[in-house]
Amino acid sequence: MEDKKVLIVGGGPDGVRAALEKAEDGAMVTILEKFPTLGAERIPRDRLIKPDEAFANPDLDKVRNHSDIKILTYSDLKKVTRENGTVHANILKRSLRIDNTKCNDCKACIKVCPVNMFDDFDEAFSFRTAVDYCNSETSEYNIYKEDMPVCQQACPVNLDIRTYVGLIADGKYLDSLATIRDRLPLPGSIGRVCPHPCETACNRQYLDEAISICFLKRYVADVEINEEIEPVYETPEKKHPEKIAIIGAGPAGLTCAYDLARIGYKHIKIFEALPVPGGYLWVGIPEYRLPKKLLQREVDLISNMGIDIQYNTRIGKDISFEDLKNDYDAVFIGAGCHRGLKLRVPGEDEYEGKGIVDCVTFLRDQALGNPMEAKGKLIVIGGGNAAIDSARVGWRMGFDEVYILYRRTKKEMPANPWEIDAAEHEGVIIQYLAAPVEILGKNGRVSGMKCIKMELGESDESGRRRPVPIEGSEYTIDAETIVPAISQGTDLEFLGEDHGFDINRWNTFEIDEETGATNVPGVFAGGDVVTGPGIAIGAIAAGKKAATGIHKYLRSK
């Protein structure tokens, strides 16, 4: 019988110990480690060492010299699947770029290398060059080059930030914009609304402050508008004949269409339930953050590629999902999360539409030009960006006083901190550690809300401290309008009954992570309808992934 093969992921002390144990049991062991060396030099956490004991973990030498242990350092596990008890692993072993059999350890390379970066291995206590010999035992040199800088890695669509920011520094604004558009069709919109994970990752924050990457993207998008340049998005000569339907003209659907058109599909049709494009970018993000005119222009540039957007068409009502699936070769579902979730407190159902309206409806009605009457006081309940947007919109609509009620403190609030500051700056009154108890009414309309003060108790699974009501601390706020903004959910009724899709307990689609494919052949999904309420750039990344998935699916048919 062949020896049992075992893969150990992670070459830290745990991994090294596990490898030895498995090898002693007679298995053929492979250790996979992403760093160029194993890290078992670490002090063991579970054993008291004596002063005269060797510092380095003695297991390390045993592992290096064991005939049944293969070490794959500087390697990534790209893909792994388990099938009938067998684990298939696709591994990328990075090149060291140095032939260590020729190296004579003179260190001349280290002396000339101009790169001076923090040494992660030394917990950023020291600097290193790109040439590295972090393992003094083996003196194995390597030249360290990651796939991409941290900002690009952090960006869901992996925008080539270093290049486009560099082009701005050189004054080449339109080249910079072209670099962005290579992966992102909505630079002006995203340059305004993105919560920019790239900036959170930016290395400059350790020196002074992170680069303002997001607003630089907006800058180059604005240059094109100010110079009155109308670009044409090129599509290839060669065309693919298949028909593709896209549900929802939000960031996911628009990007999926854009990428498919650039691959060469010419029969792409987007079905949009609303009279306007952009999805949540139009009906959720308020005008003062993202002007509709600008969004419309960016959508027009996409539709000018020959993409048909049919508005006011709700799948499941105007056209059945079954018909759509039968008429098209592939379908992408990017329907978003447009259903505001309920507070589940007494009085909520009774006064629904009579002073109580969920944030999705509240923001959408305002965005579509039929805002509700702004009279008296407004209370928004929740701590996310939708809550802040609703409050800031309400303040602009002319409510006398605008409150936000949030059950934890400012520190736990999920909204972007700069949005919270802006709301407070504009005079929105945020009451932290407070929760709704009951909606009060008079003469068939909302007249106020009974609230209760909260305190923070034990941490929950997410690591946030759970808010607990303080007994006897109830109080009332008079208000004419109440907007719950606690979260949004999907509305999958359009699929009809017996649709056969894998839907999880959050009422979102289960998809293949690589391709965006659902379990129904030819149907793909992405964006909020898969992830729940997320950020626009995440939906764009999902649209891109699905475009690649659809292309692969159609070409293999």
Partner 1 sequence: MIYEKEKRYIIPFDDVPSDRAEMPEITVDERRRNFVEVETGFPEEVAVAEAKRCLSCRRCLGCALCWAECKPEAINFDIPDEELDLDFAEIVLTKGQDNSFHPFNSELGYGSYADVITDLQFERMLSPTGPTDGLVVSPLDGEIATRIAIVQGNTDEDETHLLSSLVLGVNESILALDKTEDLEVVLVSPVCQAFKEKFLSDSEKIGGLKIVDGVPESVEKGQKEEPLKVTFSEDGQSKKENFDLVVVLTKPKVSPEIASLSKKLKQEIM
Among 26, 67, 207, 462, binds partner 1 (CB under 8 A): 207
DSSP code at position 49: P
Residue nearer to partner 1 on the CB measure, 105 or 237? 105
CB 252 within 8 A of CB 526: yes
Stretch touching partner 1 by CB under 8 A, among 148-156, 298-306, 376-384, 430-438: 148-156
Which residues in the 264-283 window bind partner 1 by CB under 8 A?
A: none
505 is an interface residue for partner 1 by CB under 8 A: no
Distance CA 508, CA 504 (A): 6
CB of 89 to partner 1, least distance (A): 5
Backbone angle region of 360, left / alpha / beta, with phi > 0 → left and psi within -120 to 50 → alpha: alpha
Phi, psi dihedral angles at 474 (to 5 degrees): -60, 145
CB of 319 to partner 1, least distance (A): 34
Which residues in the 404-433 window bind partner 1 by CB under 8 A?
A: 422, 425-427
The span from the first CA to the last CA of the chain, in angstroms, equals 41
CB of 108 to partner 1, least distance (A): 5
Residue nearer to partner 1 on the CB measure, 363 or 540? 363
Distance CA 466, CA 455 (A): 8
Among 140, 160, 222, 224, binds partner 1 (CB under 8 A): 222
Stretch touching partner 1 by CB under 8 A, among 205-213, 229-237, 257-265, 429-437: 205-213
CB of 404 to partner 1, least distance (A): 17
* Number of neighbouring beta carbons within 10 Å of residue 262: 16
Which residues in the 75-134 window bind partner 1 by CB under 8 A?
A: 77-78, 80, 82, 85-104, 106, 108-115, 117-126, 130-131
Residue nearer to partner 1 on the CB measure, 51 or 472? 51
For 291, the token pair is 């002007």
Distance CA 361, CA 155 (A): 30
* Pairing mode, strands 69-72 and 330-333: unpaired
144 is an interface residue for partner 1 by CB under 8 A: yes
* Number of neighbouring beta carbons within 10 Å of residue 31: 26
Residue nearer to partner 1 on the CB measure, 101 or 370? 101
Positive or negative, the CA dihedral 367, 373, 378, 379 is negative
Residue nearer to partner 1 on the CB measure, 222 or 348? 222
Among 151, 360, 404, 523, binds partner 1 (CB under 8 A): 151
Return the CA Rg of the chain.
Answer: 28
Distance CA 468, CA 435 (A): 10
Among 64, 158, 168, 507, binds partner 1 (CB under 8 A): 168
CB of 66 to partner 1, least distance (A): 16
Among 1, 65, 67, 169, binds partner 1 (CB under 8 A): 169
CB of 303 to partner 1, least distance (A): 24
Positive or negative, the CA dihedral 188, 194, 198, 199 is positive
For residue 351, the SS3 value is: coil
Which residues in the 520-549 window bind partner 1 by CB under 8 A?
A: none
For residue 442, the SS3 value is: strand
444 is an interface residue for partner 1 by CB under 8 A: no
Stretch touching partner 1 by CB under 8 A, among 14-22, 381-389, 516-524, 545-553: 14-22
CB of 318 to partner 1, least distance (A): 30
Among 155, 157, 165, 307, binds partner 1 (CB under 8 A): 165
For residue 523, the SS3 value is: strand
Rounded to 5°, the CA angle 225-227-233 comes to: 60
209 is an interface residue for partner 1 by CB under 8 A: yes
Residue nearer to partner 1 on the CB measure, 393 or 437? 393
Among 66, 166, 183, 429, binds partner 1 (CB under 8 A): 166
Distance CA 482, CA 402 (A): 10
Which residues in the 446-465 window bind partner 1 by CB under 8 A?
A: 463
136 is an interface residue for partner 1 by CB under 8 A: yes
506 is an interface residue for partner 1 by CB under 8 A: no
Distance CA 468, CA 463 (A): 15
Stretch touching partner 1 by CB under 8 A, among 6-14, 316-324, 338-346, 443-451: 6-14
CB of 426 to partner 1, least distance (A): 5
Which residues in the 46-65 window bind partner 1 by CB under 8 A?
A: 46-51, 55
203 is an interface residue for partner 1 by CB under 8 A: yes
CB 452 within 8 A of CB 343: no
CB of 283 to partner 1, least distance (A): 14
Residue 380 host element (H or E): strand 377-381
CB of 369 to partner 1, least distance (A): 11
- Angle, to 10 degrees, between the axis of helix 173-181 and the axis of helix 213-226? 110
Stretch touching partner 1 by CB under 8 A, among 12-20, 242-250, 337-345, 497-505: 12-20
Place of tokens 């520094």: 169
369 is an interface residue for partner 1 by CB under 8 A: no
Stretch touching partner 1 by CB under 8 A, among 244-252, 392-400, 483-491, 537-545: 392-400
- Listing DSSP states for 257-318 in one string gives HHHHHHHTEEEEEEE-SSSSSSTHHHHTS-TTTS-HHHHHHHHHHHHTTT-EEE-S--BTTT
For residue 244, the SS3 value is: strand
* Number of neighbouring beta carbons within 10 Å of residue 29: 24
Which residues in the 16-45 window bind partner 1 by CB under 8 A?
A: 18, 22, 27, 30, 33-35, 39, 41-45
